[in-house]
């Protein structure tokens, strides 16, 4: 057996590999029965509420043991034991509601007596051991549930009995039967499912059902091996880090990436209600389709995979879709909206989504502020970076949504905020002072006497940060020298009326950078970012351009501070780049 087998079975259809009623062998690595009243009564409530419609229990995971002529029960002991007890309760001679019980039995490797106690639980024997205790508590919970129905308890039992044994594939209680391969390590799978509480994924359940449905269908070739190979190829493609981040804004964190495609197809049939995706919603939604038309279902998976890789390979679509996903658009929604559109129509549609998200005129853009419009400003600067890369028509470079997914991207002040905002941390103060010392030495047109005076003050305060005895009252001295250094390395033409929080003074940067860098002067930040860029850190294109003065007209070039002219040229480039695809609204218009 090369692949797992998965199929829904009514409780009455549980059989051994030899076709006889099933025997489930509970190995020593499992703990005993531990369900309490809440779990037992919820199971009965759910079965009752199904009103005979198909109701799927969580998977029962088994592996055939030919040497024991039984199923090794890897996962599902609690559910099968509870169902067994419900049958035993209904056939108890004192009630006489039913003549037969469950058509399966349970055996235990290390719990002699448990199998017998299941057949006839009694209050007297319940204290004998912890397993008997829990079995008896469950049995009493079953009694309490039926007792709530009063003189209609037998009628309720008849309905529950019929729901459990209904052979109709579209009705009744069904066990999701997962038959693992015989080569699989049972203990490792048990630890994953129970100790680590990592349930079988929708992808694993879909794959098993798909391969099972693709084997030996009358008049059709067995395509299970081909589908299994294609499945592995698709999973491998989706594990490419840049592609995965492009469609999910996530790092490599899912066990199976093909589940994105399966979720997308399931949502076309029925979108989950509420903010959280119910357990196995995707599998249960797709199950009937897979059973009735496995090849048609698989063809749609392959088409969706081709769509994703096609969008990934198209630089324009890659950047637009990647940006929309990065700001929170769900990829399945984009797929649904793109259906039936020509490429021209798709581009127009994506441009419209960006424009509607921003809702900015040119005047609005120029007025964005760190404190008042943080999220909007961050989205604008992300788009500025993405579009800058996209608009390089002769380049094959792409914006790295993988780097974006793994970083904590924040807005960085290009020219530092005021001195009072730097937290008290002597190590950070020392690092800041050391950076500014290097920059002062590099500035050629600074008055030598003024520079020497500043360097002496820096040296004195730096030494004080290293000596605990001299740290008392150091904050005023540090802030004073910091203010003087920033003034010396700032554009004197930028007055106090120009906000340090304006978008013309903001760039996108990974928030992992420390506060010493965040409060450094422009020249020190420039030096540090160039070092990080050289060392392989991902510096967004526009952030790099800002600190290289890429946007500044040649006649205004200088490398030591972020001037008023630098701000104006940077803002003008923002307007140009974002107007390329008409992402900005005309002043006075509302969309």
Report the SS3 class of residue 222: coil
Distance CA(428)–CA(436), nearest Å, equals: 12
Distance CA(564)–CA(502), nearest Å, equals: 12
Report the SS3 class of residue 216: coil
Please give the biggest Cα pair distance in the chain: 106
Q: Please list the residues that pair with 572 across neighbouring strands.
A: none
Distance CA(587)–CA(589), nearest Å, equals: 6
Q: Which of 17, 14, 25 is nearest to 115 (CA)?
A: 25
Q: Please list the residues that pair with 412 across neighbouring strands.
A: 507
Distance CA(257)–CA(238), nearest Å, equals: 6
Q: Domain ranges in the chain? A: 5-200, 224-358, 360-415+500-591, 417-489
What is the residue-level pLDDT of the chain in tens, covering all 591 positions? 456 777 888 888 887 777 788 899 999 888 888 899 999 999 999 999 989 988 888 889 999 988 888 999 998 999 999 999 999 999 998 888 998 888 899 999 888 789 999 999 999 999 988 889 999 999 999 999 999 999 999 999 999 999 999 988 788 998 888 888 887 778 777 777 766 555 678 888 888 888 878 875 555 667 888 998 999 999 999 999 999 999 999 877 667 899 999 999 999 999 888 778 887 889 889 988 998 899 999 999 999 999 999 999 999 999 999 999 999 999 989 999 999 999 999 999 999 999 999 999 999 999 999 999 999 999 999 999 999 999 998 889 999 999 999 888 889 888 876 544 566 778 878 887 887 787 777 776 778 888 888 889 899 999 999 988 888 888 888 888 888 887 777 766 665 556 889 999 999 988 765 454 666 778 778 888 888 888 888 999 999 999 998 998 877 677 777 888 888 999 999 999 999 889 999 876 555
Residues 6+ apart with CB under 8 A from 325: 246, 247, 248, 249, 331, 334, 401
Q: List strands edge to edge, sheet with 173-179.
A: 5-10, 173-179, 55-65, 70-75, 22-26, 104-108
pLDDT in tens, 204-243: 888 888 887 887 555 566 788 899 899 999 999 999 999 9
Distance CA(272)–CA(281), nearest Å, equals: 7
Q: Are 83 and 140 in contact (CB under 8 A)?
A: no
Q: Please list the residues that pair with 413 across neighbouring strands.
A: 506
**For the stretch 391-404, what's the b/e string if a residue is b when 16 or more beta carbons lie within 10 angstroms of its beta carbon?**
eeeeeeebbbbbbb
């Amino acid at each position: 057996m090369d692949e797992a087998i998965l199929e829904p079975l009514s409780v009455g259809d549980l059989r051994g590999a030899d076709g006889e009623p099933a025997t489930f062998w509970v190995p020593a690595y499992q703990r005993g029965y531990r369900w309490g009243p809440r779990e037992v009564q919820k199971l009965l409530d759910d079965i009752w509420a199904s009103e005979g419609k198909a109701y799927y229990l969580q998977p029962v995971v088994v592996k055939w043991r030919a040497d024991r002529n039984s199923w090794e029960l890897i996962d599902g002991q609690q559910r099968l034991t509870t169902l067994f007890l419900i049958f035993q309760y209904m056939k108890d001679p004192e009630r006489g509601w039913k003549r037969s019980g469950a058509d399966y039995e349970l055996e235990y490797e290390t719990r002699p007596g448990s199998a017998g106690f299941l057949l006839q639980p009694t209050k007297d024997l319940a204290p004998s051991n912890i397993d008997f205790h829990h079995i008896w508590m469950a049995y009493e919970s079953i009694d309490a549930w039926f007792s709530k129905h009063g003189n209609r308890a037998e009628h309720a039992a008849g309905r529950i009995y019929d729901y459990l044994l209904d052979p109709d594939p579209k009705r009744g209680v069904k066990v999701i039967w997962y038959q693992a391969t015989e080569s699989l390590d049972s203990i490792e799978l048990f630890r994953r499912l129970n100790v680590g509480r990592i349930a079988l994924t929708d992808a694993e359940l879909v794959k098993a059902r798909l391969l099972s449905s693709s084997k030996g269908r009358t008049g059709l070739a067995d395509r299970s091996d081909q589908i299994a190979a294609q499945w592995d190829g698709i999973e491998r493609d989706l594990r490419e880090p840049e592609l995965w981040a492009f469609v999910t804004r996530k790092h490599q964190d899912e066990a199976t990436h093909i589940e994105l495609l399966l979720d997308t197809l399931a949502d076309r049939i029925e979108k989950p209600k509420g903010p959280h995706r119910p357990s196995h919603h995707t599998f249960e939604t797709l199950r009937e389709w897979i059973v009735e038309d496995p090849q048609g279902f698989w063809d749609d998976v392959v088409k969706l995979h081709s769509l994703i890789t096609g969008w990934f390979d198209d630089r324009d679509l890659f950047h637009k879709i990647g940006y929309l996903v990065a700001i929170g658009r769900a990829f399945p929604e984009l797929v649904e909206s793109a259906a039936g559109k020509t490429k021209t129509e798709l581009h127009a549609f994506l441009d419209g989504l960006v424009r509607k998200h921003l809702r900015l005129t040119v005047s609005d853009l120029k007025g964005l502020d760190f404190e008042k419009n943080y999220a909007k400003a961050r989205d604008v600067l992300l788009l500025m970076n993405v579009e800058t890369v996209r608009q390089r028509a002769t380049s094959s470079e792409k914006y790295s949504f993988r780097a974006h997914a793994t970083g904590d991207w924040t807005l960085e002040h290009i020219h530092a905020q005021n001195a009072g905002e730097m937290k008290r941390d002597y190590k950070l103060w020392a690092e800041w002072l050391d950076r500014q010392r290097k920059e002062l030495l590099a500035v050629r047109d600074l008055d030598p006497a003024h520079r020497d005076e500043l360097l002496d003050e820096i040296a004195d305060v730096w030494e004080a940060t290293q000596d605990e005895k001299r740290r008392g009252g150091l904050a005023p001295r540090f802030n004073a020298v910091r203010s003087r250094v920033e003034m010396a390395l700032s554009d004197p033409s930028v007055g106090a009326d120009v906000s340090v929080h304006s978008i013309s003074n903001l760039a996108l940067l990974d928030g992992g950078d420390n506060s010493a860098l965040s409060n450094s002067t422009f020249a020190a930040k420039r030096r540090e970012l160039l070092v990080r860029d050289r060392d392989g850190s991902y510096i967004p294109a526009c952030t790099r351009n800002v600190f290289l003065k890429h946007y500044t007209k040649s006649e205004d070039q200088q490398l030591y501070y972020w001037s008023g002219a630098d701000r104006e040229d940077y803002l003008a480039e923002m307007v140009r780049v974002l107007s390329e695809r008409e992402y900005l609204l005309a002043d006075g218009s509302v969309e």
